[in-house]
Amino acid sequence: MIRDEERAAIREELERLREDGARRQDLSLHACKRLFFDLGIRPSMANVRDLTQTGSASDIPKDIELFWQRIRTASKVRVGGGAIPPALEERAGELLGALFEEARTLARQTLQAERDEIEVGRQDADQALRDAEARRLAADELLQRSETRTEAAWARVRELENQLAASSAHGASHQDNLQTTVRRLEADNDSLQKRLEAEQTTNAGLRDRIDGLHEEMRRSTEHYAQQIKDALAEAERRVKPMLVELDALRTMSSTWQSAQREASKKEFEFIQQLATAKARADRLDVVLRERSDEVDALTSQLAQLRSQQGVDGSVVQVLCALATSGRLGEEELAALGTRVDGHVALPSRCPGCEEGEPELSQVDGRFELSCPECDYTSGLGASRLEAVARFSAGKRDPHASHDLTR
C-alpha cells in the first residue's frame, strides 16, 4: 500500500516533470521507478494510472513493459561486463533467465487480472451508460408529454379568454337592453300608479257621495216616518170630528208615497252607480296586481342579472366544474370572488351521507354550506363558489370534511 504522503510526493514530482515538458511515457516510467525501487511495489496499471492521472488502458501496460525491458537490459549489461568465470557467468545467465521467465509469467498473470478488472469495470460502465440512456429517453418522453399538455392548456386558456371577452360584450349589450326595458316599465308603472291614484280618488269621492245619499235617505225616511206617525196620531184624535183633514192626510200620504218611490228609485240608481264603480275598481285592482307581478318578476330578473355581473353562464359552468373537481386553488377562488355567485347552483345531495339536502348560510359576508343530516360543512368561504367547491371536495376524499371544518 502507498501511504498518502508518499503518493502526494510522487504526484508533486510528476507534476514538475509535466511542467518541464515531459511526455506521458516519461511520467509512467518515473512512476514505475519510484514504485519499484523506492517503495518496493510492483508497478501495475492501476497504481501507475493513479499517480500519473493520464494514459489509456492500452498505453499504460506498454509503458510498464518498457520499464521491465529496460530493467532486463540493464541487468544483462551488468552481468556481462564483469570479470567472472565462464561457468559462473553461465549459471548467472541461467538464473537471470529463470528470473526473467518468472517475472514475465507473473507480469502476464498480473496483466490478465488487471485486464479482467478493467473489463468488469467497462461492463459496469456500459450498463450504467445504458441505464442512463434509458432514463434520458424516459425523461425526454415525459418532457415531450408535459410540453404537449402545456400547449393544450395554453390553447384552452386562450379559448376561455376569447369566450369570456365575447360573453362580457354580450352581457353588456343585454344589460343595456334590460336597463332600457326597466326604464320603460318603470315609466309605465308610474303612469299606472298615477291612474290608480286618480281612480282611487274617484272611488273615494263616489263612496263619500253614496254615504251622503244614504245619510240623506235615512234622515228623509226618519223624517217621513215621524210625519206619518204624527199624522196618524193626529188622525186618530180627529177621525170623527175632522173628516176634512182626513182627505188632506190622504193627499199627504200620496205625496209621501211618491216621495218614497222617488227616494227608492234614487237609491237604486245610487246602488247601480256604486256597483259599477266597484266593478271598475275590481278591474283596476286586477290590472294593478298583474302590473305588480310583472314589476316583481322584472325586479327579480334585474337583481339576478346584477348578481351575475355580466358573466356568461357557459364560462361559469366551466369554472364551477373546475372548482368542484379541485382544479382551482385558494388563490384562484379568491381572485374570482363573488362575481360568478349568481350562476353557482347548490348540490342537491350531501357527499357525506348522500341523503341530506345542503343549506347555504351567510355570516358576516362569508358563505357556508352545511348538511342538516350529518353536520358535514364546507367551512366559511369568501364566496358561494368557494363554499360549493369545498363542500364538493368530500366526493374525492372521505377525510376532507375534517380538513374543511377546522
- Domain end, chosen from 140, 164, 179, is at 140
Q: Is residue 338 part of a domain?
A: yes
- Domain end, chosen from 308, 333, 356, is at 308
- 156 with 244, same domain: the answer is yes
Domain count, the chain: 3
CATH label of the domain that carries residue 291: 1.10.287
Q: Is residue 14 part of a domain?
A: yes
- 317 with 302, same domain: the answer is no
Q: How far apart are CA 51 and CA 15, in angstroms?
A: 10
Which amino acid belongs to residue 31?
A: A
Structural domain including 390 reads 313-404
Q: Is residue 145 part of a domain?
A: no
C-alpha 347, offset from chain centre: 17
Asked if 14 and 31 count as a contact pair (C-beta separation under 8 A), the reply is: yes
For position 235, what pLDDT does the model report?
Answer: 67
- 206 with 329, same domain: the answer is no
pLDDT mean by block of 10 residues, the chain; 406 residues: 82 89 88 84 86 85 88 60 58 71 79 84 86 86 87 88 84 79 83 84 82 82 80 71 73 84 84 84 83 71 52 68 71 69 74 78 79 81 79 53 33
Q: Is residue 11 part of a domain?
A: yes
Q: Is residue 172 part of a domain?
A: yes
C-alpha cell at 202: 274617484
Asked if 360 and 341 count as a contact pair (C-beta separation under 8 A), the reply is: no
- 85 with 219, same domain: the answer is no
C-alpha cell at 101: 521467465
Hey, which residues does 50 pair with through a beta bridge? Answer: none
Give the list of residues 6+ apart from residue 75 with CB closer than 8 angstroms, or none: 96
- 155 with 291, same domain: the answer is yes
For position 335, what pLDDT does the model report?
Answer: 67
Residue with cell 196618524: 232
Q: How far apart are CA 224 and CA 235, in angstroms?
A: 16
Q: How far apart are CA 62 and CA 57, in angstroms?
A: 9
Identify the three-state secondary structure at position 139. helix
For position 87, what pLDDT does the model report?
Answer: 66
Q: Does pTM surpass 0.85?
A: no
